[in-house]
A and B are shown apart, each in its own frame.
Chain A
Amino acid sequence: MTDTGMETPLTKNIRDDRTPMTIDEYERAGGYQAVRKALSDMSPKDVQSLVKEANLKGRGGAGFNTGMKWGFVPMGDDAPQPKYLVANADEMEPGTFKDRLLMEGDPHSLIEGMICAAYAIGASVSYIFIRWAYHLSAGRLRKAIAEAYEKGYLGKNILGSGFNLDMYVHVSAGRYMCGEETGLLNAMEGKRATPRAKPPFPQASGLWGKPTIVQNVETLCNVQHIINNGADWFRGLSKTDDGGTKIYGVSGRVNRPGAWELPMGTTAREIIEEHAGGMKDGYRFRGMLPGGASTDFMIDEHLDVPMDYGEIMKIGSRLGTGTIIILDDRTCPVGMLENLEHFFAQESCGWCTPCRDGLPWTEKLLHAIEEGEGEPADLDRLEAHCTWLGPGNTFCALAPGAVEPLQSGLKYFRDDFERHIKDKKCPWR
């Protein structure tokens, strides 16, 4: 990367071939300064307040203010011990490949962010919960953790501060549900990854009943930069009210699929046209999922909306993970939705009935329509599912997320659905 790094703090150390820095190289680039600063000059509450003021929002998709989330962790001498910090590196949202970039390219950055976050909440044990498919990331993280122990950034009495922290890599055995905060906790405890009832929230009672913070990789990688450069600097990186930069990505029929660190609030048009090189020859843009499979479609008229948490919400979608999946004019929207609902139906944990039974039903309806066997009433049935599986009717966010592309797909690509039913075949075949 070419600039000095002040505008792209997350990716400044990442080389084109993603060969990561050793700990010495990382230190020479200013690495681990934030750990020194936090441990010697700041109280845990100071770190919490600073991160809250920076308006760093959770990059896993939910977009909750990170410092505020840490504020719910019991602090002080009578707080339950040990407290845990878990990096959620189970990047399984279809179409998402941003955390892979950060972990493969700069593993020390995640470790440093985790040390700072653990200090802020008083955690003494931390885990990186990483999906199995990320072999390369897991290997690089293990090596970087060993280096950090050797230099005294992990272990007992870190840099003479009295603060202790252990860190382990936990490789998942699969399933999308492990990315859900409480499903992840159950997976770590050696149980089925079903969601837990909230409250109690993990901040009060998480892993093995102890206070626990689960935080996305990209979120954690921001923490040290906020400590080094301050909340005002962090907010200034963004084009909107949500602080910082964002790793945006694009996949689908574009000239240069990839991921880039850009100011928060960059428009989809700029991301697609300037960074992803526009649509491939012979393909036209029809729509996009802005942040993974569980976000509502956006179409042409939304391309100039700033991609941040608040602005995208106003047009009825979500920033999600910020990695765009493009629907082109040579791809059938019904087929795409069938693929998406197949994924969600398969990955439902089966814990609650609407999700377990409703998602396979949507998949079957979409399959029938795609195969030319749909009837007009199927569209009403699909609409009804979008309500029955929506927020408030299921135990966790999986099914509400699953119907986001479906409800918006029915709205924006209605003609295509109707043509399938009328012609009794998929027009794209």
Chain B
Amino acid sequence: MLSQEEKAEIDKELSHVPTKQAACLGALKIVQAHRDGWVTDEGLLDVAEYLDMSPDELDSVATFYNLIFRRPVGRHKIFICDSVSCWITGYKEILEHLHKQLGIRPGETTPDNKFTLLPIPCLGICDHAPAFIIDETTYVDLTPDKVEDILKEYD
């Protein structure tokens, strides 16, 4: 069941668009934000019912977009840019350093459920490559030393 809070937020999305389906990605993001950062089958069914969509159709949309998570994720998501400018300026070094420090590869979550590491296409901050985003904070001009300090902020 959608909570009152979730419903209120989805209703706000609905007020900007002429069809219920148009609010479905917004609704999935709302449910994701309220429920441990990912959309469970139950969450998907709740949204589908509320927006008069079939669960299959909604899932086909949900799984298309890389920022809707249909699997569990850690408390913090590290989105590391793996596109060309970051690749040229040292993305691999940063990725190796994250692996050394956290023991995870792209797509994996640390055993303490603290971090999930996800590759993401170009973050549009190529003049300060290499870069990553943790949750909603962007970190730029990364070096291995800098990464170590940044991760400490999440202790």
Contacts and interface: CB of A to CB of B under 8 A. Distances in A.
Nearest to A347: B121
A225 to B, nearest CB: 24
A1 interface: no
A179 B94 CA distance: 28
Interface string A162-175: 00000010111111
Interface string A116-157: 000000000001000111111000000000000000000000
Interface string B116-133: 000011111111110001
Interface in A170-191: 170-176, 187-191
A26 interface: no
B154 interface: no
B126 A91 contact: no
Contacts of B65: 172-175, 193
B50 interface: no
Contacts of A173: 25, 28-29, 65-68
Interface in A333-380: 335-336, 339-340, 342-343, 346-347, 349
Contacts of B87: 335-336, 339
Nearest to A193: B64
Nearest to B24: A190
Interface string B72-97: 00000001001111011100000000
Given A187-B25, A251-B127, A251-B129, A175 B64 contact: yes
Contact of B16 (A168, A193, A335): A168
A366 B56 CA distance: 36
A192 B64 contact: yes
Contacts of A243: none
B26 to A, nearest CB: 8
Contacts of B21: 189-191
B23 interface: yes
Interface stretch (A60-68, A226-234, A302-310, A323-331): A323-331
B128 A257 contact: yes
A61 to B, nearest CB: 14
- Mostly, the A contact residues are mixed
Contacts of A94: 83-85, 121-122, 126
A96 B84 contact: no
A95 B121 CA distance: 10
A93 interface: yes
Interface residues of B, number: 40
B78 to A, nearest CB: 13
Nearest to B133: A133
A253 B61 contact: no
Contacts of B61: 190-192
Contacts of A249: 126-127
- Mostly, the B contact residues are mixed
Interface string A203-233: 0000010000000000000000000000000
B39 to A, nearest CB: 11
Nearest to A168: B16
A259 interface: yes
Nearest to A256: B127
A96 B126 contact: yes
A133 B22 contact: no
B96 to A, nearest CB: 14
A91 B133 CA distance: 16
A258 interface: yes
B106 to A, nearest CB: 12
Given A251-B129, A325-B85, A331-B88, A96 B66 contact: no
B67 A325 contact: no
A235 interface: no
Interface of B: 16-19, 21-26, 28-29, 60-61, 64-68, 79, 82-85, 87-89, 120-129, 133, 136, 138
Smallest CB-CB A-B distances: 6 pairs = A251-B126, A173-B65, A257-B127, A190-B21, A174-B67, A94-B122
26 contacts: A94-B84, A94-B121, A94-B122, A95-B85, A96-B124, A171-B29, A172-B65, A172-B67, A173-B29, A173-B66, A173-B68, A175-B65, A175-B66, A190-B19, A191-B21, A208-B18, A249-B126, A252-B89, A289-B84, A293-B122, A327-B88, A336-B84, A336-B87, A339-B82, A343-B84, A343-B122
Interface of A: 91-97, 99-100, 127, 131-136, 168, 170-176, 187-193, 208, 249-253, 257-259, 289, 293, 323, 325-328, 331, 335-336, 339-340, 342-343, 346-347, 349
Given A127-B16, A190-B22, 18 more contacts: A94-B83, A94-B126, A95-B126, A97-B124, A97-B125, A133-B79, A136-B138, A173-B65, A175-B64, A190-B23, A192-B61, A251-B127, A251-B129, A257-B127, A293-B84, A293-B122, A340-B84, A343-B82
